[in-house]
Amino acid sequence: MLWDWGYALEILPVLGQAAIITIEATLLGFAMAAVLGLVFAILRMLGPAVAWPVSMLIELVRSTPLLIQIFFLYFVLPKFGVTLDAFTAGVLALGLHYATYCAEVYRAGLENIPRGQWEASIALNLSLYTTFKDIILPQAIPPVVPPLGNYLVALFKETPLLSAIAVLELMQTAKILGSETFRYVEPITLVGALFLAMSLVSAALIRQVERALGRRFVR
């Protein structure tokens, strides 16, 4: 018998603990991605002098592997006197990487706002800040919630990369369990099953949100 239920049940609580770290990294990373992404998107609207370097940064981050970016933050920042623990470096890398994806999503949302909304705001003499805060963003953000949700799931699925800098999330814990007992079948399969379950649940949730938004935003 290849699969040992006794062993699987024994390690499940340990993996449960690790899952908490995984979820923490996911939520913190995504919070950063959502905020930084919006900043990128708005910066890109502020004329070529700002837009160009931001676009270059986005292109660089989107075109290179997350794993290298994790290493970069973890190994390079200390050279500049900023020493981060592995978890923080990992969350920052996840957040930066996915901020570039979120920026594209926000951009699409912002571009979908009719020009008349901007013109009406100018006609009412609203400041740029007020226009963004009260007029543009409240219309631009709800429709982009589902695509942002998809990136939340994508980010979640990339958290195992943090195992490369020894963050004790699900994958690293599974590897340690495997190397201790020389049984990899149960830990890695369980991790896979946990990811699959959580992804399917989140995908279903996103569909719900999408449907709810679809009802609200029928024009």
Partner 1 sequence: MMGIRSIAVMLAASLALVAGLSTTEPFRTFMPGLIEGAWMTVRIALVGSLLAVLFGVAAALARLYGPLPLRWLARAYIEIFRGTSALVQLFWLFFVLPDFGISLAPFTVAVLTLGLNVGAYGAEIVRAAIGAVPRGQWEASTALNMTRGQMLRRIILPQAVVAMIPPWGNLFIELLKATALVSLITISDLAFKAQEMNQTTFKTIDIFTLVLLIYLAISLAITIGMRLIEGAASRGLARGRAH
Binding site residues, partner 1, CB under 8 A:
2, 55-56, 59-60, 62-69, 71-72, 75-76, 79, 157-161, 163-164, 171, 174-175, 178, 184-185, 188-189, 191-192, 195-196, 199-200, 203
Tell the smallest beta-carbon distance from residue 33 to partner 1 (Å). Answer: 16
C-beta closer to partner 1: residue 117 or 208: 208
**Least Å from the CB of residue 7 to partner 1:** 13
Tokens 């993996």 — which residue? 15
Nearer to partner 1, 148 or 174 (CB): 174
> Rounded distance, CA 133 to CA 171, Å?
40
CB closer to partner 1, 42 vs 191: 191
What is the nearest approach in angstroms of partner 1 to the Cβ of residue 156? 8
Of residues 121 and 163, the one with the C-beta less far from partner 1 = 163
Burial code of 7-46, b = ≥16 C-beta within 10 A, e = fewer? Answer: ebeebeeebeebbebbeebbebbbebbbebbbebbbbbee
C-beta closer to partner 1: residue 144 or 165: 165
Q: Least distance in Å: CB of 70 to partner 1?
A: 10
The neighbour count for residue 110, using CB atoms within 10 Å, is 20
How long, in residues, is the chain? 219
Q: Are the C-beta atoms of 99 and 33 separated by less than 8 Å?
A: yes
CB atoms within 10 A of CB 71: 16
DSSP E strands in the chain: the ranges are: none
Tell me the closest approach of the beta carbon of residue 124 to partner 1, in angstroms: 33
